[in-house]
């Protein structure tokens, strides 16, 4: 009977533990949703508070770190953002978006080499992020004065999303830095056509510009 009581007690404790962990996970997810809603309504500080509560409940919650990192980046707190993106990657090593966002944050504080490494990793992990990661990596190369590589990355971004103007403008800036004014002007014209909602191959017809 003694052994049976011990077994029953252990089973009960295990059940309570599983239930408690499950409840905590659901609570953390609800806080994450609240934080995202606050962020979508430009209430960044409120969003950060919710993400922080979620992390306190679940210290390994990669999505909470990632979203808090984005909120810190919006506030211009790039060092804090990088720390949170790093924690998100620690708990989810395949988190391509966290690598991409960390790349962008590193660019903002001049860590261009780390930015290049992060964006390269993001591209390998998730080719669907190629447009954003190639654009970001292109900026990092441009900041280092490597305009040839920047142009290659902006060209790859254009191939990924040919009807967004940003990459054409970025590539034009790199061409102008090389004093390649003809190609730079051509890219600016292309960007102008896209912003006017006119298909470059059919100047008479509108097209739907893809969103991010």
pLDDT (tens digit per residue) in 44-67:
999 999 999 999 999 999 999 999
Average pLDDT value for residue range 12-37: 65
For the beta carbon of residue 193, count every other beta carbon within 10 angstroms: 18
Q: Residue 28 has what pLDDT?
A: 86
Crossing angle for the helix pair 130-143 and 147-160, nearest 10 degrees? 160
Identify the residue whose tokens are 């998100």. Answer: 88
Confidence of residue 21 (pLDDT cuts 50, 70, 90): very low
Long-range CB contacts for residues 196-199, cutoff 8 Å, separation at least 24: 199/163
Identify the structural domains of the chain with CATH numbers, from first to last: 128-212 (1.25.40.10)
Given a cut of 70, whether residue 204 has pLDDT beyond it is no
- Determine the Cα–Cα distance for residues 88 and 65; give it in Å rounded to an integer: 5
Confidence of residue 14 (pLDDT cuts 50, 70, 90): very low
Q: Residue 6 has what pLDDT?
A: 56
- Dihedral of the CA atoms 41, 42, 44, 45 (nearest 10)? -80
Q: How far is CA 177 from CA 99, 165, 174, 186, in A?
A: 28, 19, 5, 15
- Determine the Cα–Cα distance for residues 185 and 198; give it in Å rounded to an integer: 17
Half-sphere exposure of 19 (CA within 13 A, CB side): 6
The average confidence (pLDDT) of the chain is 85
In the chain the first and final C-alpha atoms are separated, in Å, by 65
Q: How far is CA 40 from CA 26, 74, 76, 129, in A?
A: 21, 12, 17, 21
Tokens of 121: 């990793």
Average pLDDT value for residue range 101-125: 97
Out of 25-39, 93-107, 127-141, 166-180, least confident range: 25-39
Given a cut of 70, whether residue 22 has pLDDT beyond it is no
């Amino acid at each position: 009977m003694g052994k049976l009581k011990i077994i029953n007690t252990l089973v009960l404790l295990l059940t309570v533990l599983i239930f408690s962990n499950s409840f905590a996970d659901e609570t953390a997810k609800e806080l994450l949703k609240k934080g995202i809603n606050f962020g979508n309504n430009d209430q960044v500080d409120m969003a950060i508070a919710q993400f922080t509560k979620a992390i306190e409940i679940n210290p390994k919650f990669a999505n909470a770190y990632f979203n808090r990192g984005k909120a810190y980046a919006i506030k211009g707190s790039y060092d804090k953002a990088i720390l949170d993106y790093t924690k998100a990657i620690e708990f989810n090593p395949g988190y391509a978006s966290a690598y991409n966002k960390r790349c962008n944050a590193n660019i903002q504080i001049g860590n261009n080499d780390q930015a290049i490494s992060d964006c390269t990793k993001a591209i390998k992990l998730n080719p669907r992020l190629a447009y954003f990661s190639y654009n970001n990596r292109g900026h990092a190369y441009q900041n280092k004065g490597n305009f040839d590589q920047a142009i290659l990355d902006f060209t790859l971004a254009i191939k990924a999303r040919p009807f967004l103007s940003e990459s054409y403008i970025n590539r034009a800036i790199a061409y102008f830095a090389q004093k390649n004014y003809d190609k730079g002007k051509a890219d600016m014209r292309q960007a102008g056509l896209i912003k006017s909602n006119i298909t470059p191959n059919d100047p008479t017809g509108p097209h739907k510009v893809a969103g991010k």
